[in-house]
Amino acid sequence: MFPTYFFMWPGRSLYFGPLQHLEPRLHAAPVLLVGLYRPFRIRINQGECISCRCGIVPAGMLHELDLEGNVLAKLFIERDSPDYEAFRQRFPYALNAFQAFDDADIVELFVKIYEESPAKEAIHKLIETLIPPYTENLPLLHPRLISVMDLLRQEPEQNHSQLQIANLANLSTSRLLHLFKAETGCHTGATASGKGWESPSTP
């Protein structure tokens, strides 16, 4: 039987536990959901059920979870917490929409916390590595895309290959395209002043 843990700090709390089906609920704080060993299923506002490994549920959003015994991590960040702006900067999300995503590093971090069960202060420090302090004037963009955007702005006339850009972001090309479109609404990497990257030729 998987154990259940619950930790609280000023402005944030963290739950781990095996869950079955949870009836529709909403929270006063945004929550990061992470399926530790396999994806979980979630239904938003009584709509279609989707499967994902990680997701952000905004505060006040009705949702229903189905985990079939999977272990879920739930990180809550209070809206009046100093962490809130840093959380929004680390995980840019619409305030009225659920955001599903995959991030192996985040899964690995929460599996480490759950399986090694370090002291509460050590867990707090590990979460600090996940949510760096808020930086004034830093765009709300996924950290892996910041170096990509910097390169595209520095070399606007250069048409980079998808593989080069993916290697820079330490992502697969498919994950790069998915993440870039989710973050910017564009799938070519083109900016207002530049070309972006080349689409691979098709046979």
The secondary element (H helix, E strand) that includes residue 161 is strand 160-161
SS3 of residue 181 by DSSP: helix
121/156 same-domain check: no
Number of domains in the chain: 2
What span, in angstroms and rounded, lies between the C-alpha atoms of 118 and 197?
43
Residue 50 in any domain: the answer is yes
Please tell me which residue, 72 or 178, carries the higher pLDDT value. 72
Residue 74 in any domain: the answer is yes
Domain end call among 101, 130, 159: 130
SS3 of residue 106 by DSSP: helix
Mean pLDDT, range 143-170, rounded to an integer: 74
Residue 26 in any domain: the answer is yes
What span, in angstroms and rounded, lies between the C-alpha atoms of 19 and 69?
5
What's the pLDDT tens digit per position in 40-89? 999 998 888 999 999 999 999 999 998 878 899 999 999 888 888 899 88
107/164 same-domain check: no
30/70 same-domain check: yes
Residue 192's pLDDT is 35
Provide the edge-to-edge strand list for the sheet that holds 63-66. Answer: 21-25, 63-66, 40-44, 49-52
Residue 10 in any domain: the answer is yes
* Range(s) of the domain holding residue 98: 5-130
Domain end call among 107, 130, 153: 130
32/111 same-domain check: yes
119/168 same-domain check: no
CA torsion, ordered 116, 130, 55, 27, to nearest 10 deg: 90
123/157 same-domain check: no
Here the CATH number for the domain that contains residue 78 is 2.60.120.10
Tell me the whole-structure pTM to 2 decimals.
Answer: 0.67
107/20 same-domain check: yes
Residue 50's pLDDT is 92
- Of 53-67, 108-122, 171-185, the one with minimum mean pLDDT is 171-185
Residue 156 in any domain: the answer is yes
